[in-house]
Chains A and B, each alone.
Chain A
Amino acid sequence: MIPDISKMRKDFPILDQKVNGKPLIYFDNAATSQRPIQVIERVDEFSLRTNANIHRATHYLANKTTEAFEASRETVRQFINAGEASEVIFTQGTTESINLVAFSFGEAFVSAGDEVIVTEMEHHANIVPWQMMCERRSAILKVLPFNDNGELQIELLDSLITNKTRILAVAHVSNTLGTINPIREIILKAHLKNVPVLIDGAQAAAHFKIDVQELGCDFYAFSGHKIYGPTGIGALYGKRKWLDQMPPFMGGGEMIDRVTFAKTTYNQLPYKFEAGTPNYVGAIGFAAAIQYIQTQDNQALHAYEHDLLTVATEKLQQIEGLKIYGEATSKAAVICFNIVGIHPFDLGTLLDQMGIAVRTGRLCADPVMDHYGVENMVRASFAFYNTFEEINAFYKALIRLKAMF
């Protein structure tokens, strides 16, 4: 079934506006996606009629909110096919999820001289928490490099993993190169040597099917706002066997069993890792976003996004002096590029004048910039509500702007 994109676009009211007098062309989906009216209405309806704190009181509103919150957890569980709802922790987002694992797993399992592996293409959120943990635990951070094509050098992985390796963290999809990493293969290799794997799924969850049991990953993190849901909410999946052994990350209400000044004991999963009043409004919006996606023909949407990528890549490759970073055979709809002689900031500013929203800068991926020896890049990233007409307009804009320099 070919998706009716123009009909689906109408679900996203924000897309129907003019920026600097031109129709908005929103190509910054890797930074954040837009929300369909169904999600906005669900959140509003909830705030209008049902709001109360969860898991605490026994009154009507509290019960309804608690039910909605736990139902949202179940929705996320189903979405990623986690074995049980207790293995789904609500967090503020991917960054917090990774910080949680880095800290708690580090406390439980990492000692002086141990090793942690990340890759050269990671977003800072999947580098810095590990660096911080390694410093705290006197451990060593090792890096799996990628080649100029934007592909991880998997052939180096076996020798990189030693008997000191405690955990490996890798992105499902790169936010700069667009590369879809062969995480199944990576997880298998790591597991052969008893090394657990954390997957940063921030760029993947909206665009590809996630089945954590099939993948076999030990942790999977993703964010609500990149999957057509609200900001301030995300999920961390972790295998019970790890989460049960990991100490809490943040302390406070909800995550406790009993508090005395002599000793405090902790709650069971998932609450052990959900201190304080959670963003339950966000969780409900998150679930609404997942439900919105699940009512669509996802295979068709994924194929469509791939077509957008193909067409955009072909057009950009026709522009003289334009270099695309990351040309892996398996790519998500993310294109980072530069045009010789034009600074990304200048290009982004002028594209904005034409209503086109792209991202410029270092994209929270300093090592990727260093790999290619550049200071900044331009990034266009697509979602299913983008169109071929928009890509055409983008191409024409680039040609026109190029002439200004």
Chain B
Amino acid sequence: MTIDEIQQEIVEEFSGFEDWMDKYAYLIEIGNEMTPIDAKYKVENNLIRGCQSRVWLHQEFTDGKIIFEAESDALIVKGLVALLLRIYSGRTPKDILESEPRFIDEIGLRQHLSPTRSNGLLAMVKQMKMYALAYEKISAKK
């Protein structure tokens, strides 16, 4: 499935919720179900520190694709992180750079990507794109 197809899938999953409480409960559930990131990756280098929540992002580049692992100490953010991994992990740098996480807006959670310095989630998306950009350049040089 392409990134956009997965985003569409997510939007459809959320369209069933009328009540904000159900929407957030679902996010919390997704967050809770996430496999925790390996403890050895929860290090300073991987930490994206925002004052609202912390996010750890680990990545590996194999076979031309970036595998991401991530986690947050806030459950709602963790749920959103899980969704972001669903669309971005295992993708080529090109695919990552060419798409935007528009699903977040479409499921009515745009405020979580607001550009305040305290927003760990937005910083994480930016970081993912930076990795994609770096790997794309590295691959181009070979």
Q: Which residues of A line the B interface, CB within 8 A?
A: 20, 343-346, 348-350, 353, 360-362, 375-376, 404-405
| B24 A375 Cβ-Cβ under 8 A | no
Residue from B20, B21, B25, B77 within 8 A of A345 (CB atoms) = B77
| A349 B54 Cβ-Cβ under 8 A | no
| B20 A361 Cβ-Cβ under 8 A | no
Q: How far is the CB of A220 from chain B (nearest CB, A)?
A: 28
Give the residues in chain A near B25, CB-CB below 8 Å: 404
Q: How far is the CB of B36 from chain A (nearest CB, A)?
A: 15
Residue from A346, A362, A404 within 8 A of B74 (CB atoms) = A346
Q: How far is the CB of B93 from chain A (nearest CB, A)?
A: 30
| A353 B51 Cβ-Cβ under 8 A | no
| B28 A346 Cβ-Cβ under 8 A | yes
A353-B20, A353-B21 given; A346·B54 CB < 8 A: no
Q: List 22 A-B contacts (CB under 8 A).
A: A343-B53, A343-B73, A343-B75, A343-B76, A344-B74, A345-B74, A345-B76, A346-B28, A346-B76, A349-B24, A349-B76, A350-B21, A350-B24, A350-B76, A353-B21, A361-B52, A361-B118, A362-B51, A376-B52, A376-B53, A404-B24, A404-B25
User: Which residue of chain B has the shortest Cβ distance to A348 in the bound complex?
Assistant: B52
Q: Could you mark each residue 108-124 of chain B with 1 if its beta carbon is under 8 Å from any beta carbon of chain A, else 0? A: 00001000001000000
Give the residues in chain A near B28, CB-CB below 8 Å: 346, 404-405
How far apart sit A304 and B5, CA to CA, in the bound complex (Å)?
A: 56
Q: How far is the CB of B17 from chain A (nearest CB, A)?
A: 12
Q: Could you mark each residue 9-22 of chain B with 1 if its beta carbon is under 8 Å from any beta carbon of chain A, else 0? A: 00000000000110
User: Which residue of chain A has the shortest Cβ distance to B20 in the bound complex?
Assistant: A353
Interface residues contributed by chain B, number (CB under 8 Å) = 16
Give the residues in chain B near A376, CB-CB below 8 Å: 51-53
| B74 A343 Cβ-Cβ under 8 A | yes
How far apart sit A344 and B77, CA to CA, in the bound complex (Å)?
A: 12
Further 5 A-B residue pairs, CB within 8 A, beyond A361-B51, A376-B52: A343-B53, A344-B74, A345-B76, A346-B74, A349-B24
Give the residues in chain B near A360, CB-CB below 8 Å: 52
| B51 A20 Cβ-Cβ under 8 A | no
How far apart sit A162 and B37, CA to CA, in the bound complex (Å)?
A: 50
Interface residues of B in 21-46 (CB under 8 A from A): 21, 24-25, 28
| A375 B75 Cβ-Cβ under 8 A | no
Q: How far is the CB of A385 from chain B (nearest CB, A)?
A: 25
How far apart sit A343 and B50, CA to CA, in the bound complex (Å)?
A: 14
User: Which residue of chain A has the shortest Cβ distance to B121 in the bound complex?
Assistant: A345
Give the residues in chain A near B54, CB-CB below 8 Å: 375
Q: How far is the CB of A97 from chain B (nearest CB, A)?
A: 24
| A346 B75 Cβ-Cβ under 8 A | yes
Give the residues in chain B near A20, CB-CB below 8 Å: 20
User: Which residue of chain A has the shortest Cβ distance to B76 in the bound complex?
Assistant: A346
Give the residues in chain B near A353, CB-CB below 8 Å: 20-21, 24
How far apart sit A404 and B112, CA to CA, in the bound complex (Å)?
A: 19
Give the residues in chain A near B51, CB-CB below 8 Å: 361-362, 376
Q: How far is the CB of B72 from chain A (nearest CB, A)?
A: 8
Most chain A CB inside 10 Å of its own CB: which residue of B20, B21, B74, B118: B74
